[in-house]
Amino acid sequence: MPYLFTSESVSEGHPDKIADQISDAILDEFLRQDPTSKVACETLVTTDYVLLAGEIKSTAQVDVEQIARDVIRRIGYNNPDYKFDGNTCQVENRLHAQSPDINQGVERQNPEEQGAGDQGMMFGYATRETENYMPLALDLSHRLLRELAAIRKEGKEMTYLRPDAKAQVTIRYADDNTPEAIETIVVSTQHDEFDESEEKMLTQIATDIKTILIPRVKANLSADVQRLFTDQITYHINPTGKFVIGGPHGDSGLTGRKIIVDTYGGKGAHGGGAFSGKDSSKVDRSAAYAARHIAKNLVAAGVADQVLVQVAYAIGVAKPVGVYVTTYGTTKATNPSGQLLTDGEISAKVQQLFDMRPYAIVQRLGLQKPIFGATAAYGHMGRQPGQVSLNGNGQTAETFTWEKLDYVEQIKGAFEL
C-alpha cells in the first residue's frame, strides 16, 4: 500500500537560520586568520537585537559585530519596517575564552592523536532516490526556498516578498519505496502589506507560487522528478493568512535549532548535535560530514541503494568508540561465495577504508579552512562542491568536500564490485 513521507526546509531569512549564518560567518573569519582556531559561537536573534555567546581560542582579531551586521544585511534585513535591521539593531558580544579543561582533551603534542571535542554519536545518510543522493522531499523543500530567495533578490517578480519563509513537501511512495507523486506542497512566505483585501492578497501569493516559483523549480529538475508534479498536488500557501510580521521580530532565533533541516529531513537518523558556529574539532560537525561522505560513496559505488552510517566518540579520545552501518536490506555487495554481505561485514570494510579519528577527518575533508558560511542555509548535505576565496589574493578553498565521490573506486575495489 502506498505511503507518505514529508520533509521541510526554512529560508535564509528564518530566525534560526539567521542565527546559524551569523555563527558560521564568525567561525569562518576566525579560521581565515588562524586555521587552528577553536570556536563555539552561539547566536540569538530577536526584535532589533543580536546576542553572541560562546567560547573561542584563537590568535585572530575579529570584529564580530561587523560580521553579524554584514550577514543580516546580505540576507535582506535592511529595512526598519522589518523591526530587525542590520544597520541599526543592537549587537551584544558575550564571547569568551575556551575552557582549558576542554582544550586539554582536544589538543595533543602529536596532532594525529587529537581527541574528539565532545562525546556523542553522529550519523550520515545517503539514498539513490535523487541525483545528489538525498531524500527527495527534503531536496525539493530546499529547492523551493532557494528559488524563492532568488526571485526576491532579483526584484522583478513577486516584489512583495520578505526574507522569512518555510516550505514542506510530502511525497507518495509505492510499495517498492519509489516516489509515485508529490502529494502536498506547503509554502509560507513573509510579505509586504497589500493595499487589497486579505483574500485578494492570498489569492495573488498563491497564484504567483504556482505560476512563477513552481515552474522555475521544475525547470532545474530531471524528467523523472518533473513527472511527479501532477495536477492533483494539494497546495497550502500561507495557510494561516497574512504573514507580514516575521523574521526575528515575529519569532526569536537560535543557532542549531534546525538540525533536521540541516541534514536529511527526518530520513536516516540524527545524533542531536548541531553544526553551525563549531570548528572541526567538534565531532558533532566534522564526524557528521565524514559519515555523509562515507554513506554517499558507498551508495554511488553500488554497495547498497540506501546507507546509514553511525560513528560515536568519547570526549578527548581520538579513536571512535564505535562505527555502525545499516543498508536497510538494500545491500548489493556479495562475498566470494555470492552471498550478500551483512551490515557488520560492510562496517568492517568501511573501518579499513576510512580513518575516523578527528585529525584524519579534518585533513581528508579540509575542514580547517573558512568554508562553512555556505552551509548555514538550505542544508549541509547534498550540495555541490565549489570554491571560496580565502584572502582576495587568488587563493581558494574547496567547499562541501564531504559531497565528493572521490572514494568510489577504492570502495569498488574493496568490495570487488
> pLDDT, tens digit, for every residue of 297-326?
999 999 999 999 999 999 989 999 999 999
Selection from 45, 48, 51 nearest residue 84 by Cα: 48
Higher pLDDT, 275 or 417: 275
Indicate if 236 and 289 belong to the same structural domain.
no
26/69 Cα distance (integer angstroms): 11
What is the tens place of the pLDDT at every residue in 21-51?
Answer: 999 999 999 999 999 999 999 999 999 999 9
pTM for this structure? 0.95
Indicate if 408 and 316 belong to the same structural domain.
yes
What is the DSSP pairing of strand 38-46 with strand 49-57?
A: antiparallel
What was the pLDDT predicted at 102? 52
What was the pLDDT predicted at 366? 96
What was the pLDDT predicted at 34? 96
Indicate if 144 and 213 belong to the same structural domain.
yes
Confidence class of residue 107 from pLDDT cuts 50, 70 and 90? Answer: low
Would residue 110 count as lying in a domain? no
| Range 174-189 average pLDDT | 96
Feature table: binding site for Mg(2+): 16
What was the pLDDT predicted at 368? 95
Would residue 361 count as lying in a domain? yes
What was the pLDDT predicted at 196? 78
* Domain final residue, candidates 246, 272, 303: 246
Helix/strand/coil for 187: strand
Would residue 80 count as lying in a domain? no
What was the pLDDT predicted at 199? 85
Would residue 73 count as lying in a domain? no
Query: For residue 294, what is the domain's CATH number?
Result: 3.30.300.10
Indicate if 307 and 404 belong to the same structural domain.
yes
139/131 Cα distance (integer angstroms): 10
Would residue 74 count as lying in a domain? no
What was the pLDDT predicted at 109? 61
Number of domains forming the structure of the chain: 2
What is the tens place of the pLDDT at every residue in 250-270?
Answer: 999 999 999 999 999 999 999
Feature table: binding site for L-methionine: 55, 98, 251, 282
What was the pLDDT predicted at 128? 96
What is the C-alpha radius of gyration for the chain, rounded to an integer number of angstroms? Answer: 22
Feature table: binding site: 14, 16, 42, 55, 98, 164-166, 242-243, 251, 257-258, 274, 278, 282
Would residue 95 count as lying in a domain? no
What was the pLDDT predicted at 53? 98
Mean pLDDT of the chain, nearest integer: 94
What was the pLDDT predicted at 360? 96
Would residue 271 count as lying in a domain? no
What was the pLDDT predicted at 304? 98
- CA atoms within 13 A of residue 104's CA, in its CB half-sphere: 3
Feature table: binding site for K(+): 42
What is the tens place of the pLDDT at every residue in 124-146?
Answer: 999 999 999 999 999 999 999 99
Whether the predicted pLDDT of 105 surpasses 60:
no
What is the tens place of the pLDDT at every residue in 209-224?
Answer: 999 999 999 999 999 9
Would residue 254 count as lying in a domain? no
Residue range of the domain that includes 148 = 3-9+136-246
